[in-house]
Amino acid sequence: MSSAVRLFPRKLLVACLGAALVLMTARAAPAQVFDPGTFELSNGLKVVVLPDHRSPVVHHMVWYRVGAADEPAGKSGLAHLLEHMMFKGTKTLAAGEFSKIIARHGGNDNAFTSDNYTAYYQSIAREHLPMVMEMEADRMVNLLFGEEDFRTELSVVREERRARTDTEPSSLLMEQMRKRLWGDYPYANPVIGWEDELVRLTREDALAFYDRFYGPDNAILIVAGDVRTEDVRPLAERTYGQLKSRGFGVRSRDRVPGAALDDTMVLHHWQVRQPSITRILVAPAQSSDPNGHVDALKVFAELLGRGPTSHLYRSLVVDRKIAVSAGAWYSAESLDYGTFGLYAIPAEGVSTETLVKELDAELARLLASGVDADEVARARHRLKAGLVYARDSLSRGAQTMGVALTTGSTVESVESWPARLDAVTVEAVEAAAKALFNPDTRRMVTGILLPGQDAEGEAAQ
């Protein structure tokens, strides 16, 4: 069964995805990260091979260029629900048999959905790769499920929403913050869907979504592990290569998040014991960066709010002791727009109002005084040295490439990241930070989570 939506804390998810994109190498420029092999089948399927011969294991992933932000209006949660349905049967496999076969051969499999992509993966011994590719190619075009299967999985998804969002105050607040931040842009909808829209989804909706978005020319195959590109190519031709191209067009979204915004949302909830502050801003994306700020913003996020030596942590936690935690994160691996975030948890006896003011003051001081060359160099070094193990995980390399290629980036962009990081200057960091936090143009929402409830005992917003 699918694991469904990955509901990690966003800062952790961003750290993991960022980690996959940064790697030290001993090679001179141009730096190489994974040094992959690539090719494309005649039906449009793109293939990336990441050789790693340390153990006789492979990590096989199929990524589709479709996620929650591609759903028809009023049908939120459909992409994720279809992810569940992909574990049902095909013309040759009974419902649930896919995962049982993988398990019988000593492997494991799962899937996940985001705003911009849906991915399916299997980790298994190298000799079983042909079998995995045959089964994954089969369900790419031959998915079958009945009304009862659909209703069962819809109930599962609704229960996931109740367990992971409706009963989690921080998730409820973030959901409303995203809705306010993104306005009419599709990132406003939660990946798991709005409850009132979930209950109206039908089997016909899921099948239509599958027919529209699933096919070889809207997919990317990534194989990492004890394989060579010349080994994978004939296997891919024999399995995925037999599928017909579906004629998918160019992926585009004609909506925008909206004009400048500076809003604050407060949620009181009876489950909250520790107040917290979260701030999110619309930011440039790796694949849509007209001013060239993305790499500098990654360095800025590192020096501003990652770890105990960052500006926010030193000022608010160590020196002034008005917070017990503070930090920043930046997610640039997205389509069209990224997200920059800040967070802080007040120390005992410190109000959230006070901490918000001090957070603003610390940002203002840093933007006014600027950063120095040494801290930029240290941030670049931490990004590299802290993430040198990216190659040690088969799944991380495949994750890196999959996210990049499904959000409008390229293999070349991933491979050139260390060299671009080395080129980030003090001036570039300052320019990017000032542009992001420019009060005349920034689109920003601050969320405050507090204990308490309204007169009826329900959470009060």
Cβ neighbours of residue 324 closer than 8 Å, sequence gap 6 or more: 317, 345, 346, 347
Q: What region, left, alpha or beta, does residue 294 occupy, with left being phi > 0 and alpha being psi -120 to 50 degrees?
A: alpha
Beta strands in 374-442 (DSSP E): none
DSSP string, 73-91: TT-TTHHHHHHHHTTSEES
Which of 412, 399, 437 shows the shortest CA–CA distance to 293? 437
Residue 83 annotated as catalytic: yes
Q: Report the distance separating Cα 92 and Cα 131, nearest Å.
A: 13
Q: What are phi and psi of 106, to 5 degrees?
A: 80, 15
Which of 282, 317, 311, 313 shows the shortest CA–CA distance to 299? 311
Q: Report the distance separating Cα 411 and Cα 51, nearest Å.
A: 15
- Helix, coil or strand: residue 100: helix
Write down the residue that tokens 């394989």 correspond to.
227
Task: Identify the active-site residue in 83, 362, 375, 415.
Answer: 83
Provide the CB-side half-sphere exposure for 203 (13 A, CA).
Answer: 11
Sequence length of the chain is: 461
Which tokens hold the place of 146?
């009945």
Q: Report the distance separating Cα 388 and Cα 41, nearest Å.
A: 32
284 vs 34, 384, 386, CA distance in Å? Answer: 25, 22, 24
Which of 66, 85, 16 shows the shortest CA–CA distance to 389? 16
Q: With b meaning 16 or more CB within 10 Å and e meaning fewer, what string describes 113-151?
A: bbbbbbbbbbbbeeebbebbbebbbbbbbebbbeeebbe
Write down the residue that tokens 């993988």 correspond to.
102
Q: Report the distance separating Cα 218 and Cα 214, nearest Å.
A: 6
DSSP string, 329-342: EEE--SSS-EEEEE
- Residues annotated as catalytic are 83
